[in-house]
Chain A
Amino acid sequence: MKTLVIFPIIIPLLTASFCLVSYKTPRLQWLFTWFGNLSYFIVALIFLQATYQGNYYSIQIGNWEAPFGITIVIDLFSSIMLLITSILVFCSFLYSLTMSSKEEFRSGYPSLIFFLMMGVSGAFTTGDLFNLYVWFEVMLMSSFVLMAFGGEQQQLEGSIKYVILNLISSAIFLASTGILYGMVGTVNLADLSIKFSIIEYNYPKLIVSSLLLIAFGIKAGLFPLYFWLPASYHTPPPGISALFSGLLTKVGMYSIIRTFTLFYKEVDIPIQNTLLIIAGMTMLIGVLGAVSQNEIRRILSFHIISQIGYMLMGLALWSVMGIAGAVYFIVHNIVAKSNLFFISGIINKKTGRYHIKSQGNLYQESPILSICFLCSALSLAGLPPLSGFVGKLTLIIAGIHSKAYITVFISIVVSFLTLFSMTKIWIYTFWGTPHYKKEASSESDKNLFFAYSAIIILALLTASLGIFGEIFLNISEKSAQELLQPLTYIEKIMEY
């Protein structure tokens, strides 16, 4: 079991290298891709099962002892994220089976996705702040290349904004790691957690944690720092946008939850208030941006921001229920939001455009697509019995328990506005008279079989996350309990 801990990192790395070796033969690449996906999925499943029983698994890379070497840890929160990552990457490959061309495969598309996956799973499993920075960079480098993939005019513009803002965030992250190391002399998260609470002066702590919040906030797309997201996320091909929307911002969110629960073992009122305000503003501004847009992918990009606000709200409540809601919400959002991006790609294949006012009557064209869209869109808005409802309900109840009434009120208003903008897409795109000329070259449903199966899997997943909500909530509640009691985490790592 202990050797398996490194596998979520090794498997994508090996698959990526093998794909790179065989970059001229797409068939061989497919073989490696499926093999890599499958083995990653199995490993993630094993870890979910094992960590659900309250176990922690950690190894020290290179056999250097705990506070000095690099620690890789898998606890319940990490393994939930690993599993959902593997499902999303699997669906994205299924989707690109029909949606991307052979040329894309020749230019190394699968290996880039696996490098991205390696960075993401490294960030989910690492127990070391500096190592987290390295994984962020691995993830960012591959996402930079994927963002500019194809090299169209819009993409290049989008990538410049994306790259520069993310690099600034990395520089801030690096600086805060350096300052933290200067303050306490360690970068191991467990060790930091002990030493951080011993620091007497409050201001250096505040400086470091706000620097970390800014660095992760840029990556997650929090309120005053989200500008790069709607400017760039709609430019790459839909399969890539879906992967980005599902994984990248969530990694930022994961890091915020991980570091803040470890650094502040009890509620710190000024920080809690700041987080609550940021969460409320993120939700509100994001959804207002979405309401004013008329291009499907731009609407969805703004919704990413507003949904990030919910996750931050869960953390800011600082209760078991709140964090359980946040964990559940991350999983729900990865599934629902990526599915909407996938669907927007298929809509574009059918109508040739993304602007909603130039579409229409797609329901008659393909009922399955519309049902999948409806399922994910309503789940995003938070209607029962879909997954968004469970997540939002948990967060709202937790908010009422913690007496954060204003944020709860904002979150309810935001849900209504989300529903509004989802119905807007529905009315213009799936109902009404078509505003586009049906071209003879537009693809029929049969040619898109694999793309359809990807969106159907994700739609079923979002429905079952809602219907069997209790099981999934139990898991996230358990991980929330673990997150709020970092002492066990610390003991498990330091004893090694």
Chain B
Amino acid sequence: MEWLFAILVGGLYSAGLYLMLQRNMFKLVLGMCLISHGANLLIFTAGGLTRNLPPIFSEANSIPAQMTDPLPQAFVLTAIVISFGVTAFLLVLVHRTHKILNTDDVDDLIKTDLQ
């Protein structure tokens, strides 16, 4: 199963990078989303894939092979929450920028680099 996830993560990263290299600002946000999904899946895969086992360690179930590692799940959950917040903020920022600068082309954002 790991190889499938590896291909998926690679695909998400490359799609995200491709979108980020576009000049459209909204595609930038979408690319950012894809990359963070890729990173989340990477953690999930790196933490070890197990099927149909609960992430619970109890007296009845104390053999490590019979449980899922709960930590990667906690990491991914935290990362998802964070990327949710960041994406929401990014959308507002892009919207505001579009409204004030009247462009959604990243190449037009050169005023701060000029003297």
Interface status of A156 (Cβ within 8 A of chain B): yes
Are B46 and A181 in touch, CB under 8 angstroms?
yes
Interface status of B58 (Cβ within 8 A of chain A): no
Chain B residues closer than 8 Å to A181, beta-carbon distance: 43, 46-47, 71-72, 75
A181 to B70, CA, bound (A): 12
A187 to B96, CA, bound (A): 38
Are A174 and B89 in touch, CB under 8 angstroms?
no
A157 with B75, Cβ < 8 A, contacts A178-B42, A181-B47, A182-B48 known? no
CB distance from B102 to the nearest CB of A (A): 10
Interface status of A154 (Cβ within 8 A of chain B): yes
CB distance from B59 to the nearest CB of A (A): 18
Residue of A nearest to B72 (CB): A181
Residue of B nearest to A152 (CB): B100
Interface status of B86 (Cβ within 8 A of chain A): yes
Are B89 and A160 in touch, CB under 8 angstroms?
no
A157 with B32, Cβ < 8 A, contacts A178-B46, A181-B71 known? no
Chain B residues closer than 8 Å to A187, beta-carbon distance: 71, 75
Interface string of A278-315 (1 = CB under 8 A from B): 00000000000000011100000000000000000000
A131 to B47, CA, bound (A): 17
Interface status of A168 (Cβ within 8 A of chain B): yes
A159 with B48, Cβ < 8 A, contacts A137-B82, A179-B42 known? no
A145 with B89, Cβ < 8 A, contacts A160-B109, A231-B112 known? yes
Complex partner residue of A164 from B32, B47, B72, B96, CB under 8 angstroms: B32
Complex partner residue of A157 from B39, B40, B109, CB under 8 angstroms: B109
Q: Which of A127-175 contact B (CB under 8 A)?
A: 130, 133-134, 137, 140-141, 144-145, 148, 151, 153-154, 156-161, 163-164, 167-168, 171, 174-175
Chain B residues closer than 8 Å to A232, beta-carbon distance: 112
Complex partner residue of A234 from B25, B96, B106, B112, CB under 8 angstroms: B112
A134 with B112, Cβ < 8 A, contacts A164-B32, A171-B35, A174-B39 known? no
Residue of A nearest to B25 (CB): A160
CB distance from A153 to the nearest CB of B (A): 6
Are A168 and B35 in touch, CB under 8 angstroms?
yes
A174 with B79, Cβ < 8 A, contacts A154-B112, A181-B71 known? yes
A442 to B45, CA, bound (A): 60
Q: Which residue among A68, A130, A183 has the maximum number of chain B CB atoms within 10 Å of its CB?
A: A130
What is the size, in residues, of chain A's interface with B at 8 Å between Cβ atoms? Answer: 40
CB distance from A425 to the nearest CB of B (A): 15
Interface string of B16-56 (1 = CB under 8 A from A): 00001000010010001001101110111111100000000
A156 with B115, Cβ < 8 A, contacts A171-B39, A178-B47 known? no
Interface string of B103-115 (1 = CB under 8 A from A): 0001001011101
Interface status of B67 (Cβ within 8 A of chain A): no
Chain A residues closer than 8 Å to B111, beta-carbon distance: 153-154, 157
Interface status of A177 (Cβ within 8 A of chain B): yes
A294 to B114, CA, bound (A): 11
Complex partner residue of B112 from A145, A151, A158, CB under 8 angstroms: A158
Interface status of A418 (Cβ within 8 A of chain B): no
Complex partner residue of B36 from A68, A171, A294, CB under 8 angstroms: A171
Interface status of A261 (Cβ within 8 A of chain B): no
Complex partner residue of A179 from B20, B46, B106, B109, CB under 8 angstroms: B46
Q: Which residue among B28, B35, B45 has the maximum number of chain A CB atoms within 10 Å of its CB?
A: B35
Chain B residues closer than 8 Å to A178, beta-carbon distance: 39, 42-47, 72, 75
A182 with B101, Cβ < 8 A, contacts A137-B86, A171-B36, A234-B112 known? no
A163 with B100, Cβ < 8 A, contacts A175-B42, A181-B72, A182-B46 known? no
Complex partner residue of B86 from A133, A151, A167, A293, CB under 8 angstroms: A167
A235 to B46, CA, bound (A): 40
Are A164 and B28 in touch, CB under 8 angstroms?
yes
Interface status of B61 (Cβ within 8 A of chain A): no
Interface status of B94 (Cβ within 8 A of chain A): yes
Chain A residues closer than 8 Å to B43, beta-carbon distance: 174-175, 177-178, 181
Chain B residues closer than 8 Å to A154, beta-carbon distance: 111-112
CB distance from B27 to the nearest CB of A (A): 12
Are B39 and A235 in touch, CB under 8 angstroms?
no
A308 to B44, CA, bound (A): 34
CB distance from B113 to the nearest CB of A (A): 6
Residue of B nearest to A168 (CB): B35
CB distance from B10 to the nearest CB of A (A): 12
CB distance from A450 to the nearest CB of B (A): 29
Complex A-B: 5 CB contacts under 8 Å:
A141-B86, A144-B93, A153-B101, A158-B112, A293-B115
Shortest Cβ-Cβ A-B pairs, 7 listed: A182-B46, A178-B43, A174-B39, A157-B109, A156-B97, A178-B46, A175-B39
Besides the known contacts A154-B112, A181-B71, 15 further A-B residue pairs in the complex with CB atoms under 8 A apart = A130-B78, A133-B79, A141-B89, A151-B96, A153-B111, A160-B97, A167-B90, A171-B36, A177-B43, A177-B75, A178-B42, A178-B44, A178-B46, A181-B43, A235-B112
